[in-house]
Structure 1
Amino acid sequence: MGIRQGFGLFMRPVELDLGVGRESFGLAMAVQNLIFGLAQPFVGALADRYGPGRVAAIGGFLYAVGLALAAIISSALGLTVTLGFLVGLAMTGVTFVVVLGAVVPLMPPGRRGAAAGIVTAGGSVGQFLLVPATQIVVDGLGWRGALLAAAGLATLMLPLALGIARRGASAVRTSGATDEIPLKVALRQAAGHRGYWLLNAGFFVCGFHIAFVSTHLPAVLTDAGLDAGVGARALALIGLFNILGSYAFGVAADRLRKKYVLSWIYVARAAVMALFLVFPLTPLSATVFACAIGFLWLGTVPLTSGLVGQIFGVRYLSTLFGIVFMSHQVGAFFGAWGAGFIFAHTGSYDAAWTLSIGIALLAGLLNLPIRDAPLARRDLRARPG
């Protein structure tokens, strides 16, 4: 997560060095997010079947290879193939879908939200520490050197994957064994549940926000005449405050109605973005915005995954949450590329901010009618085939 959230820092250096415009860079990030999302259901199913540790190790290896190859490209196409397609594919193996599928089934129902919140916060620790470090390396070694350094760091994911290789795999296979149902039955039940589609729609909006801000915020700030370090600091502060937010919303997932907390997060995002547009853009306003949006950044993850587990059980959590996460990444595609497209054709990000506010309010409304009662086990049983 620390490496991923720092990609926005490469936009201006790549633009200046290769002559690659923001729309092209945004497209590479959009492809990355789209591939990241489209493969999630399949990778989630692999993690459910073969264990998350193996999947995470393969993802870490591909991550390192993709970053190393991105350091030697010289065109927009090369950027899209390496940082877009290959890194996007690698991310599927080391994302929340795989890790939460390993961790959450180990916990009793009353502690699963807090556990998911801690895992989510862990990703933000990486963002807080690595984004400023990435800016320092970019300044010292250039963007190519920074990508090579990131590739070296990514290799650590291989030994770290051992942390979820055994217990997680065992838990995923044995959790809910007394209520075992075929995967295709669980998929059919999810497809027929209106709340599941509303979760997909809300998480689409979340993906749009995350990709738009993480990819384009540094450029927004430098366009306003602020130092590049302000953008790096803003992304780091988003990570820092998301540590607090992810844990707080994870605990809230165990104590409050998850759908109401989700609705509040989206409405609060709309308010924070609107205030960001109203006030003059200064280092102080950028800092306040980063802290506020950071607190709301990934609090949706423990709540959304928690709702999936609450309604459908945890046996196929990686698969079912993987489908929802795919919707998140489709939204991220439009957030990364769409904002670049808007800037290329209007010379401003104002329309992108306005769109972000509007869909945030819509997502707040969509979460309210979700039927969040657990499906009865007898309703889930069906004859295989």
Structure 2
Amino acid sequence: MFQVLLCGAAIVTLSMGIRHGFGLWLAPITTERGWTRETFAFALAIQNLAWGAAGPVAGMLADRFGAFRVLIIGSLMYAGGLVLMGLATSGLAFTGSAGVLLGMAQSGTTYAVVYGVIGRNVAHDKRSWAMGVAAAAGSFGQFLMVPVESWLIGYAGWQNALFVLGCAALFIIPLAFGLKEPALASGTGQPKQSVGAALKEALGNPSYRWLTAGYFVCGFQVVFIAIHMPSYLKDKGLGPEVATAALMLIGLFNVFGTYIAGSLGQRMPKKYILSTIYALRSVAIIIFLFAPLTPWSVYLFASVMGFLWLSTVPPTNAIVAQIFGVQYMSMLGGLVFFSHQIGSFAGVWLGGLLYDATGSYDIVWWISVALGVFAALANLPVREAALQRVPAAA
């Protein structure tokens, strides 16, 4: 179990850490290429959509053949996407590399695939905690990588910084050996299912649908903030060091938030944890918008949002495993995550679109507030009890 947690956390640290700082590239790329913010935002929106669309496929392959092969392919695609992102000179090429290729790469190197291995190798009574540990350790990468990426952009230029990160993404390959499972267990104490039967069962389950709807909101909020907050702060007259520090604080407090959420999931209903997280996000955004904007108000907001940032991930995935078992956990977790990424697409793209149309991010901030209230309510009807399956008659 220790090896799985260590290598899984390191992989998520690297894969999520690299993408967490993408907002730092918005200003230098759009300035040098002469693109609008919508061009950059649309590519990142496509990235999130491609990540979500490829997630169930990557999860199904990991469930069927093991995470090891999926991680290797994902690592190679990640490296190639970052290099091509730096070489792209048109909006279409940028969307293909930063959008489609990197999105597909992330589907095979992040939570859905890693959590599937954790789910199959950690006992039920420690599963939520283990997912919290992996997410917390992975969150440290977001704290660590933002200053590194900011320094790389300033020292080597934005293009060379992407090339360096492309090389770093290849380190996922040796880490993948730590998640190489000798053989995927075919039995989990429940009747065997086909892929089609598992999908039909999940999509027909009201709790799964409510969980999926709530996760849309998570994606909308966090990706809008991660990508557009540096530019929002710049528009308000704050220096780039404030945005860098804010993203670092989000990553740092994300460590504590994800670990605590995972640990609490062992002691109380996870749906109440999720509902509370979404409600507190809306409250935090409202206070941030009405409070005087200073570096310290930004740091306080980033710390609070960081605590709530990916703390939705351990309880959401633990509920999926608790209801449906672990046989198709990567696939079903990837399908829920698809909803998250549709929300991410909407958040990052609407941020650029409405900014170009109105010259302000205000509308998107208030959409985030309303969606947070919806998600808080959507998680309350979720039933976490395991499904009791009856073997098919001969």
Q: TM-score range by the shorter chain?
A: over 0.9
Measure the CA separation in 1 of the matches of 2:225 and 2:271: 24
Q: Who is 2:33 aligned against?
A: 18
Structure 2 counterpart SS, 1:368: coil
Q: Who is 1:382 aligned against?
A: 392
| Backbone CA RMSD of aligned residues | 1.3
Q: Who is 1:270 aligned against?
A: 282
Shift of 1:173: 3.0
Shift of 1:254: 1.0
Q: Who is 1:191 aligned against?
A: 203
**Deviation per CA, 1:156-193, whole angstroms, max 9, x where unpaired?**
111111111125xx3x5345055322222222211211
Measure the CA separation in 1 of the matches of 2:190 and 2:348: 43
Return the match for 1:204 from 191, 216, 234.
216
Return the match for 1:84 from 99, 105, 127.
99
Q: Which amino acid aligns with 2:297?
A: S
Shift of 1:122: 2.2
Return the match for 1:288 from 295, 300, 322.
300
**Deviation per CA, 1:118-173, whole angstroms, max 9, x where unpaired?**
11112211111111110111111111011111111111111111111125xx3x53
Q: 1:133 to 1:373 in 2, by over 3 A?
A: same
Contact 2:190 2:389 in 1 (8 A): no
Return the match for 1:137 from 126, 138, 152.
152
Shift of 1:377: 2.7
Return the match for 2:111 from 96, 99, 107.
96
Return the match for 1:366 from 378, 385, 390.
378
Contact 1:128 1:238 in 2 (8 A): yes
Measure the CA separation in 2 of the matches of 1:132 and 1:153: 15
Q: Which amino acid aligns with 2:156?
A: L
Measure the CA separation in 2 of the matches of 1:289 and 1:98: 31
Q: Percent identity of the aligned residues?
A: 44
Q: 1:288 to 1:383 in 2, by over 3 A?
A: farther
Larger mean Cα displacement after TM superposition, 115-124 or 128-137: 115-124
Shift of 1:344: 0.7
Q: Which amino acid aligns with 1:45?
A: M
Structure 2 counterpart SS, 1:299: coil
Shift of 1:383: 6.4
Q: Which amino acid aligns with 1:137?
A: L
Measure the CA separation in 1 of the matches of 2:90 and 2:179: 38
Say whether 1:352 aligns with 2:364: yes
Measure the CA separation in 1 of the matches of 2:56 and 2:185: 17
Return the match for 1:239 from 251, 275, 283.
251
Larger mean Cα displacement after TM superposition, 134-143 or 70-79: 70-79
Return the match for 1:258 from 270, 280, 303.
270
Structure 1 counterpart SS, 2:157: helix
Measure the CA separation in 2 of the matches of 1:129 and 1:65: 22
Measure the CA separation in 2 of the matches of 1:263 and 1:27: 30
Contact 2:217 2:340 in 1 (8 A): yes
Q: Which amino acid aligns with 1:20?
A: W
Measure the CA separation in 1 of the matches of 2:289 and 2:52: 30
In the alignment, structure 2 segments of 5+ residues that lack a partner are 1-15
Scaled by the length of structure 2, the TM-score of the pair is: 0.94
Q: Which amino acid aligns with 1:49?
A: R
Shift of 1:115: 0.5
Larger mean Cα displacement after TM superposition, 177-186 or 333-342: 177-186
In the alignment, structure 1 segments of 5+ residues that lack a partner are none
Measure the CA separation in 1 of the matches of 2:354 and 2:89: 25
Q: Which amino acid aligns with 1:70?
A: M
Say whether 1:46 aligns with 2:61: yes
Shift of 1:314: 1.2
Q: Who is 2:344 aligned against?
A: 332
Q: Who is 1:230 aligned against?
A: 242
Contact 1:185 1:382 in 2 (8 A): no
Say whether 1:74 aligns with 2:79: no
Say whether 1:164 aligns with 2:184: no
Q: 1:377 to 1:24 in 2, by over 3 A?
A: same
Contact 1:8 1:216 in 2 (8 A): yes
**Deviation per CA, 1:276-310, whole angstroms, max 9, x where unpaired?**
10112111011001100000000111111111111
Scaled by the length of structure 1, the TM-score of the pair is: 0.96
Q: 1:175 to 1:270 in 2, by over 3 A?
A: farther
Shift of 1:372: 1.9
Measure the CA separation in 2 of the matches of 1:175 and 1:100: 18
Contact 1:117 1:247 in 2 (8 A): yes
Structure 1 counterpart SS, 2:17: coil
Q: Which amino acid aligns with 2:148?
A: A
